[in-house]
Chain A
Amino acid sequence: MDGVTTYELSDSMPAEVRALARRFTVVHALNEFVGALPYSEWVDRAPSHARKQMLMAKVQDEVGHGHVTARLAEDLGVARERVLLDYVEGKSKVHNIFHYDFASWEEFGPGLLLQNSAAIVQFQSLMHGVYLPYGRALRRIEREESFHYQHAQDMIHEVMLRGDADQRRTAQRSFETWLPRVLAYFGPRDGDTIGENRAWQLGMKPDSNDVQRQRWLTRIIPVFVRLGIDVDPALARQDESGTWTYAMPDWSQVRAVINNGGPASEKRLAWVRGVLDRNARYRRAMGRTA
């Protein structure tokens, strides 16, 4: 990162960078904690011992990623309980993709692979940001994400190889359902305002949303093709210059989903409220909270 000023926790840094580092780590932690919920719902239905173990390990990893980023936030002065409290108090939101459930095991694999690969692309970009503890944390996190990626690929492979026609169709439909959602996960189109984005200007967000979206499509679409999924050119197609055109997400709908208007939004909020209510006394008993 020649020529770019970078920061350790103990360095003096512009208040804006500190505030952004705080926001990035808090938002990241929240999305890991809430993002683990749709996966954890399948652990007790995983169809074999090994699948169960892999899925438990994945859920634990997501919680671990939440832990790493919540610790960074704590070091920046945010009490870890604020991560979940802000969410139930409506002060923070989770990504659009976590407002949905997986309706079946066959839907699960393609959804996982799309989400996972998108997170990898995003983390590989963010790790070059100017707040160094976050960059190092993302390097560790990314290593575990590669296990999730292989796991998700194997789940799809299994359905495409051994599932019946109906199960294969479900996997195909899942790809078509989740692709636009994950395209939206990268955030709004760059437009003319990217240059005014302070996170981008200050080096916390090294790549624009569109750059990451293109990078992701280049990597992941061939993987799905190899797995036997048809990619409708109306959903995503690459021109000769290598640029992808894709079905543009309905941004007003995406905003509504993020504002807790998705099919599973209430369920997620209810789970976190329940966690905070029923466990406060046990945390206190262990001396973990005032």
Chain B
Amino acid sequence: MSPVAPADGDIFEVFVQAGVSNALTHVGSLVTGCPDEAWYLAKETYCRRDDIARLWVVRRGDMIVSGPEDLPALTARTRMPFRQAGYPVARRRDRTGEPVAAPVEVGRPTSGPPSLTALWFALADDLFLLGHRLSRHVVDYIDIEDSLATGSISQEATAHARRIVEQCGLTEAGADAHFFDRPAHCWCPSGVSLCDLDSWPATVVSGLVVAAAVVALAEETLAVDPDPELVPELTAIRTEQAMHLEHWRHWVAALAADEATTAEFTTDCRDIVACAGDLLGGPAMSLPGSRLPTDAADLASVHTRFAALLKESVTGELTDRPTPRAADPTNSPLPAVLRRAKVVRDRYRPGTFL
């Protein structure tokens, strides 16, 4: 008889709580072919010394667990430093002495097809606007778990926007000036970012198409052999946005299937997907300080990736190829959004640490 590794169905993970104020802690696992015995065996295996308040045993196969590939998404301390108690003080220390940033033009428009850098730079605006507009839905209490997920998507979209413009050559103060002090007519967001996000279906579809565009662009960029130092950053952005995409897909499936929501969803979906062709449309910019690849993007390739991700998720007519973004469209909600974003900022001297 040759030795065999235990089957997952026979492995049980053991959790004990040492005192009533403590959390349950994983202490190890055991193997038994007899599930009814698992709790008793756990007691004899792991609870021989201390007074234990609670003992829980869970079959390994019934657990949803992370793998090494999930690690980048689980590093909240490094990915989301602003959630740490020490962040305000550390930020103040780190930025002391940083030169005052005026709104800067880091790039200048060029002719010809946009570079990958230019696609990222444009998409940063859409991520910023999405994060900005999504934040309201955190207290919309569709359901509480969803509110929390929306909160993270909103924060991650905002964080990605900043990381992208920093990779394009801006400092933190420069990024603030870029997003807060740039006049509305200098923005060139996608039509998706200008759609009305009042309804939940529109929010879901907008979130989905922006996430799909970022995933497509991240995959395209990773495929062209970027600066190795950029790879972890791009991978993390791709991973987080892929999770957003997956989250929105669940909602898309539910809203499309339910007869009370399907009509509203279908209309919103059609309207937003029709605008989505410009998400990866540029404009072409020269960004000399950027660390992202500055060679011309293969627009057909990145658009094909994007279309494939959308096709798996939503119906609606996406344009065959990337379309240019409309500069300064009429009836744009953007000026009002940006005015409100500056209400407080405008009351402080330029360059104040805010």
Residues of A at the B interface (CB closer than 8 Å) are 1, 6, 8, 33, 36-37, 40, 43-54, 56-57, 59-60, 63-64, 66-67, 70, 80, 84, 105, 132, 135-136, 139, 146-147, 149-151, 153-154, 158, 162-163, 167, 271-272, 275, 278-279, 281-288
Contact = CB atoms under 8 A, between A and B. Distances in A.
B311 interface: no
Contact of A84 (B141, B176, B337): B141
A51 B200 contact: no
A283 B142 contact: yes
Contact of B155 (A57, A132, A167): A57
A285 B180 contact: no
Contact of A51 (B201, B347, B354): B354
Interface in B131-172: 131-132, 135-136, 138-148, 151-152, 154-155, 158-159, 162, 172
A279 B140 contact: yes
Given A57-B151, A282-B200, 12 more contacts: A47-B342, A48-B345, A54-B88, A59-B135, A67-B144, A132-B21, A147-B83, A150-B88, A154-B88, A286-B143, A286-B254, A288-B143
A150 B144 contact: no
B99 interface: no
Contacts of A158: 353-354
Closest 9 CB pairs of A and B: A60-B151, A154-B88, A285-B258, A47-B345, A47-B354, A53-B82, A47-B344, A48-B354, A147-B85
Given A44-B341, A49-B176, A285-B257, A279 B89 contact: no
Contact of B344 (A36, A46, A151): A46
A116 to B, nearest CB: 12
A59 B152 CA distance: 11
Interface string B314-354: 00000000000000000000000100111111011100111
A49 B172 CA distance: 8
Nearest to A48: B354
19 contacts: A43-B136, A44-B135, A44-B341, A45-B344, A46-B344, A49-B172, A56-B151, A57-B155, A60-B138, A60-B148, A63-B148, A66-B144, A80-B144, A105-B344, A153-B88, A162-B348, A282-B255, A285-B254, A285-B258
Contacts of B34: none
B318 to A, nearest CB: 24
A280 to B, nearest CB: 9
Contacts of B340: 44-45
Contacts of B71: none
Contacts, number: 167
Contact of A162 (B250, B254, B353): B353
B88 A151 contact: yes
Contacts of B131: 56
Nearest to A132: B20
A47 B342 CA distance: 6
A279 B88 CA distance: 36
A59 to B, nearest CB: 6
Contacts of B140: 275, 279
Nearest to A133: B20
Contact of A147 (B20, B84, B147, B341): B84
B27 interface: no
Contact of A64 (B148, B172, B254): B148
A106 to B, nearest CB: 9
Nearest to A63: B147
Q: How large is the interface on B (under 10, 10 to 19, 20 to 34, 35 or more residues)?
A: 35 or more
Contact of A56 (B135, B349, B353): B135
B135 A43 contact: yes
Contacts of A149: 85
B255 A44 contact: no
Given A50-B172, A54-B88, A60-B151, A285 B255 contact: yes
Contacts of B26: none
Contacts of B254: 285-287
A137 B250 CA distance: 29
A284 to B, nearest CB: 7
A44 B348 contact: no
B39 interface: no
A170 to B, nearest CB: 10
Contact of A59 (B23, B85, B138, B257): B138
Contacts of A47: 180, 342, 344-345, 348, 354
Contacts of B154: 56
A270 to B, nearest CB: 13
Candidate in A45, A49, A271, A281 with the most chain B CB atoms within 10 angstroms:
A49
B85 A53 contact: no
